[in-house]
Amino acid sequence: MQIDVLFFASYRELAGAERRSVTLPEGASAGDLVARLRSLDESLARLPDTAAVVVNHHVVRPDHSIAPSDEVALLPPVAGG
């Protein structure tokens, strides 16, 4: 399945774009997604372990399965306030 991943703030700079498309096997998990992103290029290989995978606006655990219709985003540690 093809997943469009949204990137914000420092991760947008790592990814070089606001969104990147990745191909994942059906039933792939959030952890699989991060591993796949890290394999795309040297810059994304530097994605830290503190990256949060967000599916449909909720932060998910690494074992969460991703569906083709999901809105998926990768978020750096937050710094509001």
Partner 1 sequence: MSGTVALAEITDAEIVPGALLEAVSSDGHGAALLFLGTVRDHADGRPVSGMRYEAYLEMAERVMTEIAGAAAERMEAGALAVVHRIGTLDLREASVGIAVATPHRAPAYEVNRWIIEEIKRRLPVWKHEHYADGDAAWVEGTPLEADA
**Residues 38-77 contacting partner 1, CB under 8 A:** 50, 52, 54, 57-61, 73, 75-77
Compare residues 23 and 53 and give the one whose CB is closer to partner 1: 53
CA distances 80 to 76, 77, Å, are 12, 10
Compare residues 23 and 50 and give the one whose CB is closer to partner 1: 50
Interface residue with partner 1, options 6, 32, 35, 36 (CB under 8 A)? 6
Distance separating alpha carbons of residues 76 and 68, to the nearest angstrom:
23
